[in-house]
Amino acid sequence: MNVAIVHNSITEDEGPDAKDVLAQVAVVRDALVQSGHSVEVLPCSLNLEQIVARLRETRTEMVFNLVESLDGHGRLIHLFPALLEALRLPYTGSSAAAIATTSNKTEAKEVLRHAGLPTPAWIGPMVGRGGKTGGTPVDGVWIVKSQWEHASLGMDAESVLQPESAAALFSILEQRAGSLGGSCFGEQFIDGREFNIALLAAKNEVEVLPAAEILFDDFSTHMPRIVDYSAKWDETSFAYGHTPRRYDFSEDERPLLEKLVQLSKQCWHLFNLKGYARVDFRVDRDGQPWILEVNTNPCLSPDAGFAAALDQAGLSFTEAVGRILEDSLLPPHA
C-alpha cells in the first residue's frame, strides 16, 4: 500500500518529549519499507487543509497515525483522526472518539469508575472552584498531573504533596495549571509499585504483552517513587538512570500479574481500543492494582517500553507494525 506516516510538526525549540516522535517515525518507516509498502512521511499542523492536500497528492491509502498533539496542545490529539474519519481514509490506532476520551485523563477516570474498575480518587480539573472530587475527601498524599498532556509533562518531586485542605489543593492546581498544559488535576497518590502493560491487536482480539515493573533503585526516603519528566527525558538526572524496567517475577506474584492482565483487557474493550495501547498501574501496599492511565498511542521508540515488551514477547517490531496495520482495516471491535 501507499502508507503515509503522519506526525505532529516539530519546531527546534521543543523539548525531547516532543522531538521523540521523530525517532518513532524512523523505526516505523523502516518496518513498513521492510514489509514492502511505499512510504511517505508527512508533518501535520493546525493547517488541516494542507495535510489533506498532501494526502491526496501522495495517493495515500493508509495513514500510520503518529500525531501526538497539534500546535503543542495535547488536547487536540483527536482532531487529526477525526479528519481522517471524515475523509474515510483508514488509519492505525484507536478511533478519534477513543483518543478524545482517554486523552482527557479525568474523563477517562470517570469512565473507569462507572465501569467498576479501580482508579485512584481525584479532584479537578479546575473550573473556577467547581472541580469534581471523585467522591473522596481531600486527605493524605496527592499528586498533581496535567489534564491533557502526556510524557509526564511538568511532573517533578514537588508534584507529590499533602495538602491541608481541599481549598489548599485547589489553590495549588490553579498555580500549576500554566506549566501543565493549561489544566491539571489532583490524584490520590498510591504509595507502592508501578507497572505498565502493553497491548497489541491480534486477530480481532488483543494480546497482552509481558508486564513491566518500573523499579526505583536507590531512591532515598525523601524522593517520591514516581516516573517524572526527568526520569523519562533528562539523561543527566539521577532518576533517568535509576528507574529500570524488570520483567522477571516470582511464582508468588502470578496472581497479581493475572489481575493486571485482566484489567488491561477490560480497558481495551471498555474504551474500544484498536492497534496498540498501554495501561499504567500503581499497586498499593496491600497488592491492590489501581489504573492510572490508558494510553492509546504509547511511544514506539526503540528505547521505550512498548519495544521492550515486544522483545520480551519474542515479537519483532516489523511484525508488530504489520499487526497494527492489519487491525486498522478491520471494523471496530465489539
For residue range 140-192, what is the model confidence (pLDDT) as tens digits?
999 999 999 876 788 888 999 999 888 888 889 989 888 888 889 999 999 99
pLDDT at 153: 80
pLDDT at 12: 86
Parent domain of 127: 119-188
* pLDDT, average across residues 319-325: 97
More confident: 329 or 119: 119
What are residue 91's phi and psi, to 5 degrees? -150, 160
pLDDT at 165: 84
Instruction: Give the model confidence (pLDDT) of 34-59 as tens digits.
Output: 999 999 999 999 999 999 999 999 99
In angstroms, what CA-CA distances link 139 with 119, 123, 157, 223, 325?
A: 17, 11, 19, 20, 46
Q: Are residues 204 and 177 in the same domain?
A: no
Q: Is 72 helix (H, G, I), strand (E, B) or coil?
A: coil
The three cell numbers locating residue 278:
498501554
Domain count, the chain: 3
Q: Please answer whether residues 182 and 126 qualify as being in contact, where contact means their C-beta atoms are separated by less than 8 angstroms.
A: no
Q: Are residues 280 and 318 in the same domain?
A: yes
Q: Are residues 7 and 72 in the same domain?
A: yes
Residue 96 forms part of a structural domain: no
For residues 32 and 39, what is the distance between their CA atoms, to the nearest angstrom? Answer: 7
pLDDT at 14: 85
pLDDT at 216: 95
pLDDT at 79: 97
pLDDT at 186: 92
Q: Which residues pair with 144 in a beta bridge?
A: 186
Place of cell 508501578: 194
Q: Are residues 200 and 273 in the same domain?
A: yes
More confident: 163 or 32: 32
Which of 54, 28, 48, 37 has its CA nearest to residue 3? Answer: 37
Flag whether pLDDT at 334 surpasses 60: no
Side by side, the strands of the sheet bearing 184-188 are 122-123, 184-188, 142-146, 160-161
Residue 308 forms part of a structural domain: yes
Q: Are residues 262 and 300 in the same domain?
A: yes
The three cell numbers locating residue 228:
517524572
Neighbours of 176 (CB within 10 A): 18
Q: Are residues 199 and 301 in the same domain?
A: yes
pLDDT at 330: 78
For residues 175 and 72, what is the distance between their CA atoms, to the nearest angstrom? Answer: 21
Residue 34 forms part of a structural domain: yes
pTM of the model: 0.93
More confident: 245 or 14: 245
For residues 44 and 65, what is the distance between their CA atoms, to the nearest angstrom? Answer: 10
pLDDT band of 127, cuts 50, 70, 90: very low
Can you give 320-334 as a three-state secondary structure string? HHHHHHHHHCCCCCC
Flag whether pLDDT at 333 surpasses 70: no
Residue 229 forms part of a structural domain: no
